């Protein structure tokens, strides 16, 4: 298994190109199941999760072509995928594929809406606490679906098609909003989704669905109204920039100091995180080119943060912020409200000498002058990148094991950091 070796203590200076958002690309690819026509997606990141979803969609009969790179092309430009789901050959999503990536469960909505049936394995994914799918299923039931659980599979049917309905999510769920939104586009009549997720990735999906002929109002607010249509057409859509990758590199620059341009990033997608970074003493300048993040000489100030659904501080940046706060000049508090058990990075950060005390869903971090490099183990996607951030600032050598977690969500991580002066390399084997 590959490892990442980092020698810490080098400031970051230069430009980091921001990729298309993984969490938008995945539902957009799944939306291809809704139409017999071709969906063309631009700016799709090259990630293990995207490749896995290509296999899963291929299993349903979606033909996918990827544009090759030509000499002279920008090596950091995203790929263009053409997804053609003219014929759905199989409405089953099997355990061995779905168990490896939770988002693949979302095929249940489009398959059911277009084909009247779906058999989808209950999901797996990152080990960050129990992550049920009850809201997905209840939203589909509200549209008239019959749903049973059989031998680890969700078996859903709507022989006469889905009917518009009203559903209020008991708690904000990104994935359940994607599932319900996609299903409702082809349901007969009006669907109203209350307490819907407002994340930019939901809005990006809705924008693409509207290009495909869906009638959707209110995406990006708590209430989404969908008037079902009988069929959707093909479209061309560019995936929005990855706000979690943006925030991650912003925290890396804040951690080690220096001056980095996050090219192509959009500040409006990440205001809560930038507010926190400014409170911590980091300078953020927004321009047409992207977002410039710098910290020169000044220390890092402690902060008090709770994760929350968008537009709040994202849970997907919680581990990275915790790494940053290990070097603050005082005690910080970080409360995780979205997922239980999303603190697996705490014991690994302690290996760098970080002092973190856990009490239920709140971590108190006593900042320290220095961290020392250590061998550490990646446990989930976002936690693993927090170890990279700590390693960049720690004295001496850090070896991060199980980096396949990183490959699920961060494109060309070592290249992007090393071209800004970090000493970081992948060791294969």
Interface with ligand UD1 includes 175 (CB under 6 A)?
yes
Residue 123 · residue 133 · CB < 8 Å: yes
Interface pick for ligand UD1 out of 338, 383, 389, 392 (rule CB under 6 A): 338
Interface with ligand UD1 includes 104 (CB under 6 A)?
no
Interface pick for ligand UD1 out of 73, 134, 217, 298 (rule CB under 6 A): 134
- Extract the tokens encoding 182: 């996609």
Q: How far is the CB of 406 from ligand UD1 (least distance, A)?
A: 14
Residue of 107, 189, 192, 197 lying closest to 156 (CA atoms): 107
d(CA 230, CA 225): 16
Closest CB to ligand UD1 among 201 and 414? Answer: 201
Interface with ligand UD1 includes 167 (CB under 6 A)?
no
The CA-atom distances, in angstroms, between 217 and each of 24, 185, 187, 210, 220 are 19, 11, 15, 9, 9
Contacts of 251 (CB under 8 A, 6+ apart): 277, 317, 320, 321, 323, 324, 389
Interface with ligand UD1 includes 132 (CB under 6 A)?
yes
Interface pick for ligand UD1 out of 76, 135, 352, 410 (rule CB under 6 A): 135
Closest CB to ligand UD1 among 336 and 414? Answer: 336
Number of helical H runs and strand E runs in the chain:
14, 24
Footprint on residues 286-325 left by ligand UD1 (CB under 6 A): 315-316
Query: C-alpha 70: how far from its chain's center?
Result: 28
d(CA 351, CA 218): 46
Interface with ligand UD1 includes 386 (CB under 6 A)?
no
Q: How far is the CB of 48 from ligand UD1 (least distance, A)?
A: 13
Radius of gyration of the chain (CA): 22
d(CA 267, CA 269): 5
Interface pick for ligand UD1 out of 3, 13, 131, 419 (rule CB under 6 A): 131
Closest CB to ligand UD1 among 60 and 136? Answer: 136
Q: How far is the CB of 94 from ligand UD1 (least distance, A)?
A: 19
Q: With CB under 6 A, what is the number of residues at the site for ligand UD1?
A: 20
Closest CB to ligand UD1 among 118 and 371? Answer: 118
Angle at 302 between CA 301 and CA 303, to 5 degrees: 120
| Residues labelled catalytic | 126
Closest CB to ligand UD1 among 153 and 352? Answer: 153
Residue 388 · residue 413 · CB < 8 Å: yes
The CA-atom distances, in angstroms, between 312 and each of 15, 197, 247, 327 are 27, 12, 13, 23
Interface with ligand UD1 includes 146 (CB under 6 A)?
no
Interface with ligand UD1 includes 173 (CB under 6 A)?
yes
Closest CB to ligand UD1 among 133 and 300? Answer: 133
Interface pick for ligand UD1 out of 339, 343, 352, 410 (rule CB under 6 A): 339
Interface pick for ligand UD1 out of 47, 85, 176, 328 (rule CB under 6 A): 176
Q: How far is the CB of 345 from ligand UD1 (least distance, A)?
A: 14
Closest CB to ligand UD1 among 23 and 294? Answer: 23
Interface pick for ligand UD1 out of 64, 133, 145, 154 (rule CB under 6 A): 133
Residue of 354, 406, 399, 362 lying closest to 380 (CA atoms): 406
Residue of 274, 255, 208 lying closest to 235 (CA atoms): 208
d(CA 77, CA 7): 28
Using CB under 6 A, list all residues that contact ligand UD1: 23, 26, 102-103, 131-136, 171, 173-176, 201, 315-316, 338-339
């Amino acid at each position: 298994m590959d490892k990442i070796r980092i020698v810490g203590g080098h400031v970051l200076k230069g430009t980091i190109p921001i990729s298309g958002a993984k969490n938008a690309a995945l539902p957009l690819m799944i939306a291809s199941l809704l139409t017999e026509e071709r969906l063309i997606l631009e700016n799709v990141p090259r990630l293990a999760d995207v490749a896995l979803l290509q296999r899963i969609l291929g299993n349903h009969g979606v033909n996918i072509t990827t544009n090759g790179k030509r000499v002279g092309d920008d090596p950091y430009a995203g790929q263009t995928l053409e997804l053609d789901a003219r014929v759905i050959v199989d409405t089953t999503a099997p355990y061995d594929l779905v168990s490896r990536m939770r988002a693949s469960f979302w095929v249940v909505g489009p398959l059911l809406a277009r084909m009247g049936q779906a058999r989808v394995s209950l999901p797996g994914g990152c080990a960050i606490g129990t992550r049920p799918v009850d809201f997905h299923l209840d939203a589909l039931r509200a549209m008239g679906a019959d749903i049973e659980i059989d031998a680890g599979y969700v078996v859903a049917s709507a022989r006469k098609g889905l009917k518009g309905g009203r559903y209020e999510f008991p708690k904000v769920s990104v994935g359940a909003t994607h599932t319900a939104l996609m299903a409702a586009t082809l349901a007969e009549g009006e669907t109203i989704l209350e307490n819907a997720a407002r994340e930019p990735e939901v809005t990006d999906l809705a924008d693409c669905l509207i290009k495909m002929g869906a009638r959707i109002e209110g995406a990006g607010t708590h209430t989404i109204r969908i008037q079902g249509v009988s069929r959707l057409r093909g479209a061309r859509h560019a995936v929005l920039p990855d706000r979690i990758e943006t925030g991650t590199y912003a925290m890396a620059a804040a951690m080690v100091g220096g001056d980095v341009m996050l090219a192509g990033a959009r500040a409006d997608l990440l205001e809560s995180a930038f507010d926190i970074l400014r409170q911590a003493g980091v300078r953020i300048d927004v321009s047409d080119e992207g977002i410039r993040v710098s910290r020169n000489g000044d220390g890092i100030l402690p902060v008090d943060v709770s994760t929350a659904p968008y537009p709040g501080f994202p849970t997907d940046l919680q581990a990275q912020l915790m790494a940053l706060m290990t070097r603050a000049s005082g005690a910080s508090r970080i409360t995780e409200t979205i997922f239980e058990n999303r603190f697996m990075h705490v014991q690994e950060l302690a290996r760098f000498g970080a002092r973190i005390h856990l009490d239920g869903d709140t971590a108190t971090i006593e900042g320290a002058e220095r961290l020392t490099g250590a061998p550490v183990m990646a446990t989930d996607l976002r936690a693993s990148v927090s170890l990279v951030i700590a390693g960049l600032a720690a004295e001496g050598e850090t070896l991060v094991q199980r980096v396949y977690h990183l490959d699920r969500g961060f494109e060309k991580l070592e290249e992007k950091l090393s071209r800004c002066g970090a000493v970081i390399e992948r060791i294969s084997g």
